[in-house]
Structure 1
Amino acid sequence: MNSLKSDLEQFICVGNDVVELKLVKSEDDFFNNKKVFRPEMTHQLFGQTENIFGYKDLRIQLYYSSTRLAVYLNHNYSEKINPNQYEGVKADNVIKAIVDTLEIQPITSKDEFIKELAKESTFKPSGNLIHSYSREREGSTSQFQVYKHDRMSLDSFREYHSRMQTFLWFFIDGASYIDTDDDQWLYYTFFEKQVEGSSTRYNFVGYMTLYRYYAYPDKIRLRISQLLILPPYQKQGHGAEILQAIYRDFVSDINVLDFTVEDPSDNFVRLRDYVDCKVCMNLPSFQADVIHKGFTHTMENEALEKSKIHKKQVRRVYEILRLRATDMSDAEAVKAYRIEVKQRLNIPFQKQKNELEKLKKVLKPEELAAAMQAVDTNERFKMLEKWYQEHIDAYMRVIGKLSS
Structure 2
Amino acid sequence: MEDIQNKLMPYICDANSAVQFKLVKSKEDLETDDGFFFPDMSHQIFGEKEQIFGFTDLKLRIYYTASSLQIHTKLLYGRKINPEQFDGVKADDIMKSVREVLPANVIENVDDFSKKLDGEPNFKPFGEIIYNYTRQQKGKSTKRNFEIYKADMTNPNFKEYHQRIESFILWFIDAACFIDSDDDKWDFYVVFEKCTEGGITSHLFVGYSTCYRFYAYPDKIRPRISQVLVLPPYQRQGHCTELITAIYQQYVPKAAVLDITAEDPSENFQRVRDFIDSKNCLKLPEFQDSKLGQKFSKEMRKAAQEKYKINRRQARRVYEILRLRITPENDDVAFTKYRLAVKSRLNEPIYAHVVFLTKINESLRKKSHLLPASLVPPKEERLLMLQREFETCLHEYKKVITRLDISA
> What interval of TM-score do these two structures reach, taking the shorter chain for normalisation?
over 0.9
- Greater Cα offset, 42-51 or 225-234: 42-51
Find the aligned partners of 1:84 and 1:369 in 2 and give their Cα distance: 60
Find the aligned partners of 2:45 and 2:296 in 1 and give their Cα distance: 46
Deviation of 1:116 (Å) = 1.3
Specify the alignment match of 2:123 in structure 1.
123
Specify the alignment match of 2:69 in structure 1.
69
CA RMSD in angstroms comes to 2.1
Specify the alignment match of 1:376 in structure 2.
378
Deviation of 1:112 (Å) = 2.4
Return the letter of the residue paired with 1:183. D
Deviation of 1:362 (Å) = 6.2
Return the letter of the residue paired with 2:47. G
Deviation of 1:263 (Å) = 1.0
The residue matched to 2:398 in structure 1 has which SS?
helix
Return the letter of the residue paired with 2:325. R
Specify the alignment match of 2:243 in structure 1.
242
Contact 2:361/2:372 (8 A) holds in 1: no
Deviations 1:329-381 (A, max 9, x none): 21110011011111111212443565578779866378997686615332222
Residue 393 (str. 1) matches residue 395 (str. 2): yes
Q: Closer, same or farther in 2 for the Cα pair 1:350/1:175, shift >3 Å?
A: closer
Return the letter of the residue paired with 2:76. N
Find the aligned partners of 1:9 and 1:226 in 2 and give their Cα distance: 37
Q: Closer, same or farther in 2 for the Cα pair 1:367/1:38, shift >3 Å?
A: farther
Specify the alignment match of 1:210 in structure 2.
211
Identify the match of residue 141 of structure 1 among 140, 143, 147: 143
Residue 270 (str. 1) matches residue 276 (str. 2): no
Return the letter of the residue paired with 2:212. Y
Return the letter of the residue paired with 2:73. L
Contact 2:347/2:386 (8 A) holds in 1: yes
Residue 166 (str. 1) matches residue 170 (str. 2): no
Contact 2:354/2:376 (8 A) holds in 1: no
Find the aligned partners of 2:10 and 2:360 in 1 and give their Cα distance: 59
TM-score scaled by structure 2? Answer: 0.93
Deviations 1:307-333 (A, max 9, x none): 211110000000000000112221110
Specify the alignment match of 1:284 in structure 2.
285
Q: Closer, same or farther in 2 for the Cα pair 1:112/1:302, shift >3 Å?
A: same
Return the letter of the residue paired with 1:146. I
Find the aligned partners of 1:112 and 1:72 in 2 and give their Cα distance: 9
Structure 1: unaligned runs, 5 residues or longer: none
Specify the alignment match of 1:40 in structure 2.
40
Find the aligned partners of 1:359 and 1:89 in 2 and give their Cα distance: 50
User: What does 1:5-404 align with in structure 2 at a 5 Å threshold?
Assistant: 5-138=5-138, 139=140, 140-149=142-151, 151-352=152-353, 364=365, 374=376, 376-404=378-406
Find the aligned partners of 1:194 and 1:270 in 2 and give their Cα distance: 29
Contact 2:127/2:155 (8 A) holds in 1: no
Find the aligned partners of 2:356 and 2:111 in 1 and give their Cα distance: 69
Structure 2: unaligned runs, 5 residues or longer: none
The residue matched to 1:194 in structure 2 has which SS?
strand
Q: Closer, same or farther in 2 for the Cα pair 1:360/1:72, shift >3 Å?
A: closer
Contact 2:278/2:322 (8 A) holds in 1: yes
Q: Closer, same or farther in 2 for the Cα pair 1:5/1:375, shift >3 Å?
A: closer
Contact 2:364/2:372 (8 A) holds in 1: no
Contact 1:356/1:371 (8 A) holds in 2: no
Q: Closer, same or farther in 2 for the Cα pair 1:120/1:305, shift >3 Å?
A: same
Return the letter of the residue paired with 2:287. F
Contact 2:24/2:63 (8 A) holds in 1: yes
Matched residue count: 403
Return the letter of the residue paired with 2:203. Y
Deviation of 1:31 (Å) = 2.7
The residue matched to 2:157 in structure 1 has which SS?
helix
Deviation of 1:306 (Å) = 2.4
- Greater Cα offset, 7-16 or 362-371: 362-371
Identity in percent: 44
Contact 1:295/1:315 (8 A) holds in 2: yes
